[in-house]
Structure 1
Amino acid sequence: MRDRQHGTYVKYKLDACRCYPCCFADSQYRANRRRAIAYGTWQPYVDAEPVRQHVRTLMDFGIGWKRVAALADVPTGVLTKLLYGHPQRGMAPSKQVRPKNAIALLAIQPTLDNLGSAVSVDATGTRRRLQALVAGGWPQAQLAARLAMQPGNFGSIIKRPQVIVRTVRLVHGLYDELWRVDPREHGVDNQAYSRARNHASDRGWAPVGAWDDDRLDDPDAFPDWTGLCGTPEGSAAHYRHKIPCCGPCRTARATARRAQPTSKAAA
């Protein structure tokens, strides 16, 4: 039996609960139904196609249809009929669904929180968060210990293109905990601190301050090392701050140089 909330018509109908709140909810449902029928506004079903497309979008994101059903608290049979019908009985996918099921399914969004913990996802944000912490002076061995990982496994996360959701959540939590923390105030000696920062610098790993929080997970985003990165002025800012010039600034500088002769000719 599902752990449905008391005081609902669904609990009364599907779980045969006869407690006072559920009986009251059933009586209200029936009264509202009779009233809607009398006024000609009763709508027991709605078009299934928008709901079906939404569920398929969730599935493409990585949320299996059974998990969608569980998140929406909708019987799996509803999803089976919605998506596949019943081929053995010659039944096509549902053309209509009940409004309450449609509302519940459409409310489920393709977010990290709704993914199963073993689903593989893009590792861009995970990789950038770990690299930023190393750039801030956190030794990889200490970060691995905080994630309950072996150092070898930790090192591969920084390089691999995909990770499972469980790892993403762990790294998000670690980053939120440590991104403003000075490692030297939490047991990291000066030598290990400098070694971690040099390791990150040699590999061009961006520090925390180079990323906007809302761009960390965007594969097309690039770190803003100077506040002017990606603009023609960015390369000069790199020089002033003694930071190696990044790719977007090199590209912007080259584009600006190519445009100069054209501008002079036009003048």
Structure 2
Amino acid sequence: MTTAVREAPHHRNLTCVKEYRCRRPACLRRSADYDRNRNRLVAYGRWQPLVDAEPVRQHIRMLSSYGIGWQRVCRLAGVANGCISKILYGAPHEGRGPTKRVRTTTADKILAVKPSLDHVAPSARVDGTGTRRRLQALVANGWPQMRLGRELGIKHHRLIWDQVRKDVVSGDTARKVRDLYERLWNVDPATRGVSLRYIAQAKQIAVTNGWAPPAAWDDDYIDSPAAAPDLGEHVDRYTAIAEDARWLMSTQGYTVAQAAHRLGITKDHLYRAFSQRPETNEAVAA
């Protein structure tokens, strides 16, 4: 009488070798590597196959608060769904609560998943603070909302207006806006074919709504709801225009016409700013 050989349900870990006597070369190598590593750590007194599951559980919940669900964590960490399910919920049908201890290797894989926007699922709902601020900052720099909508693949201008005000957005939208901001935050809209009229209108919308420009936001904190823009000391418009234009002309070699174009104003407007805010003797001497 012969005994049927049980087929391993999978070959992802050591179970197939230890419980099903799997003889696949790849599985045998994985088992041998595990044994060598275990023996070495035992010899050095550092063998710790299991660790407390609570920090891992808290990390998974933290990731969830960032819009990275536990099933998404499974894929990112390369662990089985059942593993994280047991860490969070246990096995209620078997009368067992959440896992108290997990394998060190499993814990390391899960803890390595960071709350990055790149890890958020496309349809996940995430805080819209950073998305809102980035779009508002681009408008403050003179980018019309309709143009931003085209860059994002949004056809109707009302939709981009909604994005500027939303408290919650999808992960896909947040990533697209972040990437758009990285491309355009220091780009003059006029160099991309945006007319001065629309640039001025966009800037006026930002002023009316109190939207801060990119320079007011620190990249490390723009996504934080608790952060506030650094607007510096208050400077009236004529002073700001005159100072910026003189800097462009003295350091970059701009002509009056080029400086006016860069600032999104007419030459007459720039000349008016110069007359209203003439250079001081100290500035001329410098």
Q: TM-score range by the shorter chain?
A: 0.7 to 0.9
Unaligned runs of 5+ in 1: 229-234, 244-267
Preserved contact between residue 138 and residue 181 of structure 2 (Cα < 8 Å): yes
Q: Deviations over 1:89-117 (max 9, x none)?
A: 11222122111111111212222222212
Q: Equivalent of 1:49, from 50, 54, 57?
A: 54
Q: Which residue of 1 aligns with 2:189?
A: 183
Q: Deviations over 1:17-69 (max 9, x none)?
A: 8346x543432322333555577654332222222222222223332111111
In 2 relative to 1, CA 13–121 (structure 1 residues): closer, same or farther, beyond 3 Å? Answer: farther
Which stretch of structure 1 is more off in the superposition, 91-100 or 140-149? Answer: 91-100
Asked whether 1:119 is paired with 2:117, we answer no
Q: Equivalent of 1:144, from 149, 155, 169?
A: 149
Q: Percent identity?
A: 44
Asked whether 1:202 is paired with 2:202, we answer no
In 2 relative to 1, CA 34–207 (structure 1 residues): closer, same or farther, beyond 3 Å? Answer: closer
AA at the equivalent of 2:79:
V
**Superposition RMSD in Å:** 3.0
Q: Which residue of 2 aligns with 1:215?
A: 221
AA at the equivalent of 2:208:
D
Q: Deviations over 1:146-202 (max 9, x none)?
A: 100021110111112111111111111111111111111111112222222222222
AA at the equivalent of 2:94:
R
Specify the structure having the higher radius of gyration (Cα). Answer: 2
Query: What pairs up with 1:1-267 in 2 under 5 angstroms?
Result: 18-19=24-25, 23-34=28-39, 42-149=47-154, 150-225=156-231, 227-228=232-233, 237=235, 241=239
Preserved contact between residue 46 and residue 98 of structure 1 (Cα < 8 Å): yes
Unaligned runs of 5+ in 2: 1-8, 242-286
How much does 1:122 deviate?
A: 1.8
In 2 relative to 1, CA 39–191 (structure 1 residues): closer, same or farther, beyond 3 Å? Answer: closer
In 2 relative to 1, CA 187–35 (structure 1 residues): closer, same or farther, beyond 3 Å? Answer: closer
Give the Cα separation in 2 of the matches to 1:62 and 1:115: 6
Aligned residues: 229
In 2 relative to 1, CA 38–165 (structure 1 residues): closer, same or farther, beyond 3 Å? Answer: closer
Give the Cα separation in 1 of the matches to 2:23 and 2:194: 59
Structure 2 counterpart SS, 1:214 = coil
Structure 1 counterpart SS, 2:98 = coil
